[in-house]
Amino acid sequence: MKIVVLAKQVPDTWSDRKINLETGMLDREASEPVPDEINERALEVALQFKDANPDAEIVALSMGLEDTTKTLRKLLSMGADSAVLVTDPALAGSDMVQTSRVLAAAVQRIAPDLLVAGNEATDGRGGMVPAMVAEILGWPVLPSLDEVAITAEGVSGTTQVDGGSLSLSSGLPAAISVTEKSAEARFPNFKGIMQAKKKPMETWSLAELGIQAGPDAAPVRSVMVSAEARPPKEAGPKVVDDGTAASQLAEFLAAQRLI
Q: Is residue 13 a part of any domain in this protein?
A: yes
The CATH number of residue 200's host domain is 3.40.50.620
pTM for this prediction: 0.85
Candidates 72, 87, 62; CA nearest to 204 is: 87
Q: Is residue 240 a part of any domain in this protein?
A: no
Whole-angstrom Cα distance, residue 201 to residue 116? 19
Q: Is residue 214 a part of any domain in this protein?
A: no
Whole-angstrom Cα distance, residue 162 to residue 35? 31
Q: Is residue 176 a part of any domain in this protein?
A: yes
Burial label, 192 (beta-carbon count in 10 A; 0-12, 13-18, 19+):
middle
Whole-angstrom Cα distance, residue 217 to residue 78? 36
Host domain of residue 153: 2-209
How many structural domains comprise the chain? Answer: 1
Q: Is residue 239 a part of any domain in this protein?
A: no
User: Across the chain, what does the average pLDDT equal?
Assistant: 91
Contact, 108 vs 11, CB < 8 A? no
* Tens-place pLDDT, residues 71-124: 999 999 999 999 999 999 999 989 999 999 999 999 999 999 999 999 988 887
Find the mean pLDDT for residues 145-160. 96
* Tens-place pLDDT, residues 162-181: 889 999 999 999 999 999 99
